[in-house]
Structure 1
Amino acid sequence: MSELATLARPYAEAAFKRAKETGNSQEWSDALAFLSAAIQDTDLSAIINNPKVSEDRLVQLMQEICQDQVKGEGLNFLKLLIENSRLYLAPQIAELFESYKAEDEGYVDVDVITAYALTKAEEKSFALSLKKKLNKDVNIHASVDNSLIGGFLVRAGDSVIDGSISGQLQQLAKRI
């Protein structure tokens, strides 16, 4: 996964830089999200990875699929990815682009995994605590994982805070 991120980083940085220059980061965000979702389709993925499909045919096919979803500079970006055989990196490029956008706009997307569903009040309180710790506005994406037994697991970018009982049990097992 980190190898894919390394390959995707220059493309994501270039897309974000261009989005900032032109002031249309939301358009870029939407286009990259669409590309990411499209190429994850198994049928389309088989076509993309088929060496018998020419570059020109792949560009034509992707233009037909994208229609109004990817236009202008996004279309040129799509052609560049196809030309450099990097279309498969679209999900990683979209993810990195979103992290650059979040950083620029002063917020961070946080995945909070708990052993039970959080109430709105608990989620709000948790967001305030994370905001103080991270010094940024926080967008929480909450999910439930019963295997945590209790507590929580927080992922914010490269940072992970493991306050789960299963995590504590694993740490205890390592020490023993």
Structure 2
Amino acid sequence: MPSTLHAIDSVDRVYGRSLFELAKAAGGRAQLDEVFDELEQLLELARQNPRLGEFLRSPIIEHARREASLRRILEGQVSDLVLKFVLTVARKGRLAKLQGITAAFQGLYYQEYGTLEMDVWTASALGAEQAAGLRERLKAIVGREIVLHQYVDPAMIGGIRVRSGDYLFDASISGQLRRLRQSIDDAGAKVMRERARGMLEE
């Protein structure tokens, strides 16, 4: 589960699609599943080891040294396809974009297999049972398997906010207060316009 939202740019999409098409051609769904899991494991490894994450991102590390280190870390741990891809990304100086590339790959994977990604914000973290219950309710509504990305936003006070693509459902208390404030502002503006119109007509 991502801890922060990650914007995907055009470079991420190019590399993500390239890897997706390579994996699909090499072994179909089974290969795509394997690549999906290995990318997740690699990112988790970088998250758990800040020095490794910095090593992957640093632009000052010599390419030969970085490639040798990547081989030592990854050989025998990931498929040849993922190893070759990561080395290619490293040679292009794009390792810092691995998270975005992974997100782009995963987006294509979900699209291919009828799974819908939804971002969910709550004022406090959902428990496992709460998340599972929410996933089932959303699945019943949209008729597709759901992948939830959960985020905590204490400013919401309470309630829930769900986004999928351009669709946003905001049932948070802060959202309700914002809409109430907007309706009050709109009503106030209407009264002022009517008063101004009356003064001009006198």
Q: What's 2:13 paired with? A: 9
1:55-84 CA deviation, whole Å, 9 max, x = no partner?
Answer: 111111111122333231111101110111
Residues 30 and 69 of structure 1 are in contact (CA less than 8 Å); yes or no, is this contact kept in structure 2?
A: no
What code does the residue aligned with 1:5 have?
D
Q: What's 1:18 paired with? A: 22
Q: Choose 152-161 or 6-15, whichever is displaced more.
A: 152-161
- Residue from 33, 37, 41 that aligns with 2:44: 37
- Check 1:62–1:121 CA distance in 2 against 1; reply closer, same or farther (3 A cut): closer
Max Rg structure: 2
- Residue from 79, 87, 105 that aligns with 2:113: 105
Q: What's 2:89 paired with? A: 81
Q: Number of aligned residue pairs: give it.
A: 173
1:146-173 CA deviation, whole Å, 9 max, x = no partner?
Answer: 5423321113355432211112223444
How far 1:143 moved relative to its partner? 6.1
How far 1:123 moved relative to its partner? 4.9
1:92 paired with 2:92, answer no
Q: Work out the CA distance in 1 between the residues paired with 2:151 and 2:90.
A: 35
1:123-164 CA deviation, whole Å, 9 max, x = no partner?
Answer: 53x445423543422234556655423321113355432211
How far 1:109 moved relative to its partner? 3.1
Gaps of 5+ in 1: none
Q: Work out the CA distance in 2 between the residues paired with 1:38 and 1:119.
A: 23
1:98-125 CA deviation, whole Å, 9 max, x = no partner?
Answer: 121111111123343334657848953x
Question: What's the % identity of the aligned pairs?
Answer: 27
Matches within 5 A, 1:44-59: 44-48=52-56, 49-51=58-60, 53-59=61-67
Superposition TM-score, scaled by structure 1 size: 0.79
CA RMSD across the alignment: 2.9
Q: Work out the CA distance in 2 between the residues paired with 1:88 and 1:121.
A: 34
Residues 153 and 163 of structure 1 are in contact (CA less than 8 Å); yes or no, is this contact kept in structure 2?
A: yes
Q: What's 1:150 paired with? A: 158
Q: Work out the CA distance in 2 between the residues paired with 1:154 and 1:80.
A: 36
- Secondary structure, aligned partner of 2:51: helix
- Check 1:123–1:77 CA distance in 2 against 1; reply closer, same or farther (3 A cut): closer
Gaps of 5+ in 2: 1-5, 186-202
